[in-house]
Amino acid sequence: MKSVSGFDEWLKTTLRKNKDFRRAYRVEFSALPISTQIKILRRHKGLSQTSLARRAKRPQPEIARAERPDYNITVNTLNRIAAALGAKLAIIPQEALD
């Protein structure tokens, strides 16, 4: 996987140190399509699709499909990918995002 960019380092540091920024980031992040969230989390953790597939015990092409916005992914696969990324699936009420 590529080395971490200056922006990635800044983001990690800012998320760790700034509570208000972290809260706003979570709200905006949760509004993104699931496919985009998977891709961002995978890259943030420095994982290739292949290494994420190994962790999630799924074939690599399934990870590639999961990162496409037009792919209809199953909840079971989402749970496996989320667990492999150290994340959880959640349903968040819309009013919590407004």
List the pLDDT tens digit at each of the 98 positions of the chain. 555 578 888 988 999 999 999 989 988 888 899 999 999 999 988 999 999 999 999 999 999 999 999 999 999 999 999 999 999 988 878 777 66
Q: Which domain holds residue 78?
A: 6-97
Length of the chain counted residue by residue? 98
CA separation (Å) from 49 to 17, 22, 28, 36, 89? 29, 26, 24, 13, 19
> What CATH number should be reported for the domain holding residue 68?
1.10.260.40
Structural domains counted in the chain: 1
Neighbours of 40 (CB within 10 A): 14
The pTM of the full predicted model, rounded to 2 decimals, is 0.79
SS3 string, 54-67, reads HHHCCCHHHHHHHC
- Give the Cα separation of 94 and 39 in Å (integer): 23
Residue 1 domain flag: no
Q: What is the structure's pLDDT at 4?
A: 58
- Give the Cα separation of 82 and 19 in Å (integer): 24
Q: What is the structure's pLDDT at 95?
A: 79
